[in-house]
Amino acid sequence: MKNKLDKLMAQINKQTGTYNPFLIADKLNIEVHWKNIYPRPFGETFYYGEQPIIMLSNSIKDSTERYFVLAHELGHVIEHQGLSAYYTSNSRFHNKTEDEANQFAIKLLTNLYVEENEKLPDSYLELHYMYGFPNWYE
């Protein structure tokens, strides 16, 4: 039985033909800009009217971490669109949406791994090295 996130992943893949966050952003017409953002966050989503714009830090441009950060921000755009005002004013909701965006990124990039390798990863470390998954295991 598929859960909500699995259904969302299937819908994204059907619509875009990929699990690659950079290709998904392009196919969904979500602008991605690289900026000097120091020291953090590595990514941030803004809205120009109804149009989401994702800003990514130049500091991760050449690292695998760019995949996880963009996938996380896409999670906010796809799952939390229109909630930014409430999101910033309520810390409990903020934590919940961050957790949901992380789960979205994990699921998206695990599917990308399967798309690229035709098998599940052998370990979390594989995902860390390929797509910049955080060091939550330390």
Residues 41-98 have pLDDT tens digits of: 899 998 998 899 999 999 999 999 999 999 999 999 998 665 444 444 455 545 778 8
16 assigned to some structural domain: yes
Q: Which domain holds residue 81?
A: 4-131
Q: Is residue 36 part of a domain?
A: yes
CATH number of the structural domain spanning residue 30: 1.10.10
Q: What is the pLDDT of residues 13-49, one digit of tens each?
A: 999 999 999 999 999 999 999 999 877 789 999 899 8
Q: How many domains does one find in the chain?
A: 1
The answer to the question of residue 136 being in a domain is no
Number of H helices, E strands in the chain: 6, 3
d(C-alpha 10, C-alpha 18), whole Å? 10
In a domain, residue 95? The reply is yes
Q: How confident is the model at residue 126 (pLDDT cuts 50, 70, 90)?
A: very high
Does residue 137 form part of some domain? no
**Residue 69, in any domain of the structure:** yes
